Structure 1
Amino acid sequence: MGWLLLFSAGCSEIVFALSLKYNEGFTKLWPSIATMIFGGASFYLLMLAIKTLPLGTAYAVWTGMGAVGVAILGIILFKESAELVRLASIMMIIVGIVGLKLTHVD
């Protein structure tokens, strides 16, 4: 259950970060509301996940999911750079996240 909560926290973190781009300094109502809701949900779900997962692992996976998700969606939605070095760097974060999951003993 901890991993499902952590995955949900990571997804909420991605939506939270994207909503920051769209709320334009909290001047747009609905994106600002989304920022508050998904930011709160992300932290709350992370808090629940660390009840059963090691803090260091959970935090690293949560931040890694957010970083990878936002970087990939930045490429897709905002036409950000998709240079090979950038893509390789994203892949290294993914490898780290998978490594942390695989080395976790339930």
Structure 2
Amino acid sequence: MLSQQLAWLILAASVIAEALGTAGLKLSSGFTRLIPSILTVVCYMAAVWLMALATKRLEMGTAYAAWAGTSAALTALIGIVCFAETISPLKLIGLGTAVLGIVLLNMSGGTS
């Protein structure tokens, strides 16, 4: 049986896979470049598979909310760092709010 800590680690791996898949999507230029397109598909498949494993132990709503919020924050960070996307105080507040929400969800202790 999966421990709750391991389930959160698997969920974190799913977040990383999703964010890398999204970066690959940008690099794929609308699936016209082979290697980034393959990276995108593999990463998205891994993200869904890892999420399925994590939800064996974590509550689905909590896991999905944490996954979506963390993925969005990480994807925004990748966009800022790797693709020179803009950053503004409002964007930072939004990302901070997402992270705070994830911390609160994690503190709720929800398990299946």
In the alignment, which residue of structure 1 is the partner of 2:24? 19
Residues 1:7 and 2:12 aligned together: yes
Residues 1:36 and 2:46 aligned together: no
Out of 55, 66, 69, the residue aligned to residue 61 of structure 1 is 66
Contact 1:11 1:65 in 2 (8 A): no
- Whole-angstrom CA distance in 1 between matches of 2:110 and 2:97: 22
Out of 78, 97, 104, the residue aligned to residue 102 of structure 2 is 97
* Structure 1 vs Structure 2 CA RMSD: 1.0
- What 5-or-longer segments of structure 2 have no aligned partner? 1-5
In the alignment, which residue of structure 1 is the partner of 2:3? none
TM-score, scaled to structure 1: 0.95
- 1:105 Cα deviation from its structure 2 partner: 4.5
Contact 2:8 2:54 in 1 (8 A): yes
Aligned residues: 106
Out of 47, 52, 74, the residue aligned to residue 52 of structure 2 is 47
Q: Kindly, what percent of the aligned residue pairs are identical?
A: 36
TM-score, scaled to structure 2: 0.90
- Whole-angstrom CA distance in 2 between matches of 1:49 and 1:105: 12
Which amino acid counterpart does residue 104 of structure 1 have in structure 2?
A: G
Structure 1 stretches (4+) deviating beyond 2 angstroms? none
- Whole-angstrom CA distance in 1 between matches of 2:82 and 2:51: 26
